[in-house]
Structure 1
Amino acid sequence: MTRASRTHAALLRAALELFEERGYDATTAAAIAARAGVTEMTFFRHFASKDAVLVDDPYDPLIAEAVARQPVELAPLAAVIAGVREAWDAVPAPAVVEVRDRLRVVSRTPSLQGALARNSTGTAEAISSALRSRATPAAEARVAAAATIGALNAALLEWADGDDPDLGSAIEMALCVLTGGGP
């Protein structure tokens, strides 16, 4: 593990601890940095904002690439669903406890709903762009991307407040709802 990745992990751990102790709104970036033993400037080298600790998603490029690889004869929504499944199957299992902790803070903090929406806009745009690269009309691409992201966000926030240990089951449930009930 590199020094940068250790610092990143320490900042994430410190943020989650402080959000649990004080709440998201009462926790500052400076407090997170201090808890992690780094400067506030170092915090902002790793995260663009305090909310980025919780909502940044490293999977956007993987999903977009997987969507772009889908057969052109697939309808836009079917291509996105297949692309999400392919991307999910290709990534190493994330630290489920960390993901749940991050999403639980988001689900329980009304002030974070805007940050989630902004982050989701970037994900939807990456998916929409991948669909357009397959000659999908722009309006259809935006609708398919937005529907998928909306379903995934709802399922993941619901999962975060539940007891199911399987993150994949939340993703699969959202995709099954989009397909009308089946894989």
Structure 2
Amino acid sequence: MTSSPSEPSGLRERKKARTRAAIQRHALRLFREQGYSATTVDQIAAAAEISPSTFFRYFPTKEATVLYDPFDPVLIAATLAQPAELSPLAALRATVDIIREQVSGEEWERERQRQLLVFREPELRSAVMDQFAEGIDLLAGMAAERTGRAADDFEVRNWAGAVVGVIMAAFLGAAADPDVDTLVVLDRAVAHLEAGLPL
């Protein structure tokens, strides 16, 4: 999808985001209906009414349509916007309500279906582990900005690793129950970490 030179960059970015979301939406629907392995890039492109070459401008692989998480930027921006007196963990927990307000029920259900697919498909489950490693960098950057410390500070990275660990454990548990509210599980996981992980 090309834009005219006079088209504002903000509009171009919004159009790209809408196209990316549409491709992912059609991909997730086809994966549910046909199964992940049985669905091809050509089928996804046809469902989204784009060419396969356009598909590859947005996603390098079929796998990437599932691994793309549109909520990470929302989560980080909402966490950074929390009052400065909140600890990084408290700020992270406060974002759950913001996500509930900003994300429609339909969007969140699609995200829940994406998460279930990721953790149920062995091929995707191994790939998402790399994303959790990237999540440590993302959270360390957020914590560094909130605390004034360096993102590569030993304690900052340990904190980020602990958050990613409890989130991963929570998501793996939630994947076993299709009726669970993932946001509730996420909040419980972070609250448990905030309490020092008592057993």
**Which TM-score bucket, shorter chain as reference?**
0.7 to 0.9
**Cα drift, residue 139 of structure 1:** 1.5
**Cα drift, residue 63 of structure 1:** 4.0
Aligned twin of 1:143: 158
Equivalent runs, 1:117-128 vs 2, <5 Å: 117-128=129-140
Given candidates 85, 88, 98, the residue that maps to 2:96 is 88
When residues 20 and 169 of structure 1 are mapped into structure 2, their CA distance, relative to the original with a 3 A threshold, is same
Aligned twin of 2:171: 156
- In structure 1, the gaps of 5 or more residues are none
Using the alignment, how far apart are the partners of 1:115 and 1:141 within structure 2? 25
Equivalent runs, 1:1-183 vs 2, <5 Å: 4=16, 7-65=19-77, 66=79, 71=84, 79-91=87-99, 92-94=102-104, 95-133=107-145, 134-135=148-149, 138-164=153-179, 166-180=181-195
What percent identity do the matched residue pairs reach? 31
Using the alignment, how far apart are the partners of 1:68 and 1:124 within structure 2? 19
When residues 11 and 63 of structure 1 are mapped into structure 2, their CA distance, relative to the original with a 3 A threshold, is closer
When residues 111 and 70 of structure 1 are mapped into structure 2, their CA distance, relative to the original with a 3 A threshold, is farther
Higher radius of gyration, 1 or 2: 2
When residues 125 and 3 of structure 1 are mapped into structure 2, their CA distance, relative to the original with a 3 A threshold, is closer
When residues 8 and 41 of structure 1 are mapped into structure 2, their CA distance, relative to the original with a 3 A threshold, is same
Question: Is 60-69 or 85-94 further displaced after alignment?
Answer: 60-69
Using the alignment, how far apart are the partners of 2:128 and 2:167 within structure 1? 12
Query: CA contact under 8 A between 1:68 and 1:130: conserved in structure 2?
Result: no
**Cα drift, residue 112 of structure 1:** 1.0
Using the alignment, how far apart are the partners of 1:157 and 1:167 within structure 2? 10
